[in-house]
A and B are shown apart, each in its own frame.
Chain A
Amino acid sequence: QVQLVESGGGVVQPGRSLRLSCAASGFTFSSHGMHWVRQAPGKGLEWVAVISNDGSRKYYGDSAKGRFTISRDNSKNMVYLQMNSLRAEDTAVYHCAKETIAAAGTFDFWGQGTLVTVSS
Chain B
Amino acid sequence: EIVLTQSPGTLSLSPGERATLSCRASQSVSSRNLAWYQQKPGQAPWLLIYGASSRATGIPDRFSGSGSGTDFTLTISRLEPEDFAVYYCQQYGSAPLTFGGGTKVEIK
Does A82 reach chain B (CB closer than 8 Å)? no
**Which chain A residues border B51 with CB–CB below 8 Å?**
103
Q: CA of A108 to CA of B45 in the docked complex: distance in angstroms?
A: 9
Q: Which of A69-115 contact B (CB under 8 A)?
A: 95, 100, 102-113
Q: Which of B10-18, B62-70, B77-85, B91-99 contacts A (4 or more CB under 8 A)?
A: B91-99
Q: B78 CB to closest chain A CB, in angstroms?
A: 25
**Which chain B residues border A106 with CB–CB below 8 Å?**
35, 47, 50, 90, 92
Q: Is the interface of B mostly helix, strand, loop or mixed?
A: loop
Select one of A46, A60, A103, A111 contacting B92, CB under 8 A. A103
Number of cross-chain contacts by CB at 8 Å: 61
Given A44-B88, A62-B1: A102 and B96 interface contact (C-beta under 8 Å): no
**Interface size range of chain A in the complex:** 20 to 34
**Which chain B residues border A109 with CB–CB below 8 Å?**
47
Are B97 and A110 in contact (CB-based, < 8 A)? no
Q: B39 CB to closest chain A CB, in angstroms?
A: 8
Are A44 and B102 in contact (CB-based, < 8 A)? yes
Q: CA of A62 to CA of B57 in the docked complex: distance in angstroms?
A: 31
- Interface residue tally for chain B (C-beta within 8 Å): 26
Select one of A44, A61, A108 contacting B101, CB under 8 A. A44
- What are 17 sample pairs from A and B whose C-beta atoms fall under 8 A apart? A44-B101, A45-B99, A45-B102, A62-B96, A103-B35, A103-B51, A105-B97, A106-B35, A106-B47, A106-B50, A106-B92, A107-B45, A108-B47, A108-B57, A109-B47, A111-B44, A112-B44
Does B33 reach chain A (CB closer than 8 Å)? yes
Are B1 and A110 in contact (CB-based, < 8 A)? no
**Which chain A residues border B37 with CB–CB below 8 Å?**
45, 107
**Which chain A residues border B50 with CB–CB below 8 Å?**
100, 102-103, 106
Given A44-B88, A45-B88, A62-B1: A107 and B98 interface contact (C-beta under 8 Å): no
